[in-house]
Amino acid sequence: MPYAVKFEDVSKQFRKGGAQYEHFGTRVLSAPRRSLKRLRGQQEPSNGKLALDRVSFEVPEGEAFALVGPNGAGKSTALRLVSRISQPTGGILRVKGRVGALIEVGSGMHFELTGRENIWLYGSIIGLSRADIRSRFDAIIEFSELGDAIDTQVKYYSTGMQLRLGFSVASYLQPDIFVVDEALAVGDVNFQAKCVDRMAGLVKEGTTLIFVSHQLAAMEALCTSGVMIDQGRVAIEGSAKEVLTHYIATMESRRDIVDLANNDGRVRIVSATCHAADGSESNVFTAEEPMEIRLRFESDEPIQEPHVVIGITDGRPGGLIEISMLDDASAPATVGREFEVRCLIESLPLRPRIYEIWCDVIGQDGYGTLMKWMEIAGFRIDASIGEGKKAIVNAATAGAVLVNYQWDVRT
């Protein structure tokens, strides 16, 4: 399959304290040598941070590609290289076509110019003629929903308005490769749905999409392949489902070591795991399967009537499911310094999406907090996405709970 972007042993190293001083004449004379090294894929010596370390992977042409990894893994660095904002210090990076990038809110904008002027500026920078820009102008403004604010200086825009303008411009000026990094982290739900719909439409038209987001539901709905970068190296490359499953498992294993240890309440959670019907540990389920959540706690003294509360969410504000011992009066009378709680959920009527499990422990009176509300685990619902016109958008952004239903149209 032809590629749109190809990393071949690409490294990127940042110098400590910025670039070292070099006499102008020396810099000019050494430029051909540095260029030749880059063409050969050789790395220049540096004593700084290695953000990418001999990374190799391909982004298939005309597909949506998921790029995942923990914070600081090197994802944004890779996107900056693809967008030609930065250059590799080693290896070869091949990019075929014009790149439209939304790497961070406000990136590529001139804040003293109006929204309208920024559209002209961006189009000129990526090499479009005035006629090309003019032909897309109305569509950009309409999609952004900025109205009269399009003639206001961008420095007066809110973060959400900057996102609207940036996404609209980058997506409507017909890039061959569209790079999106955490763009859906801000803005209202309706506009997020529009963005997902627009990205899906671009992919159908043959645009290559490279997508980074903490909204894993959107990534799973949109992307067919992907890569996980961890500590500057490729951890796994394959289908989006394989990559996201590996990412969830990796983050869950690290959560046990780091996140759970940060709890300093009277009750501390030691481990949190999800289990399938046969008792095996798993992070992937179907909507019809049972899931058992097993929680192990410890405390410095015996606890009277600890009320465990479990919440399930898809990462958006507001919970989807709450299971509480405060509701069903199932709290034990007393527990020792170590105790385990198991909660069996008989089915999970949820959309195919990635979900978070949260937990806290409330005291005997029903009010005092013994353990603060914290994210403790995660799982993925595995199912096929429908074939309707908005199936991808709904899989990523619509309500998460599924019900059994039938349509009956009568005339």
**Structure confidence at residue 262 (pLDDT):** 59
User: 126-171 pLDDT, tens per residue?
Assistant: 778 889 899 999 999 999 999 999 999 999 999 889 888 988 988 8
**Structure confidence at residue 20 (pLDDT):** 47
**Structure confidence at residue 77 (pLDDT):** 93
State how far Cα 321 lies from the chain centre: 23
**Structure confidence at residue 51 (pLDDT):** 92
**Structure confidence at residue 170 (pLDDT):** 87
Cβ(172)–Cβ(143) under 8 Å? yes
**Structure confidence at residue 370 (pLDDT):** 94
**Structure confidence at residue 127 (pLDDT):** 78
**Structure confidence at residue 259 (pLDDT):** 54
**Structure confidence at residue 106 (pLDDT):** 63
**Structure confidence at residue 22 (pLDDT):** 47
**Structure confidence at residue 140 (pLDDT):** 93
Could you say which residues of the chain have pLDDT below 70?
16-48, 104-108, 182-187, 254-264, 317, 389
pTM: 0.74
**Structure confidence at residue 33 (pLDDT):** 57
User: 215-243 pLDDT, tens per residue?
Assistant: 777 788 889 999 999 999 999 999 998 99
| Domains of the chain, start order | 3-239 (3.40.50.300), 259-381 (2.70.50.60)
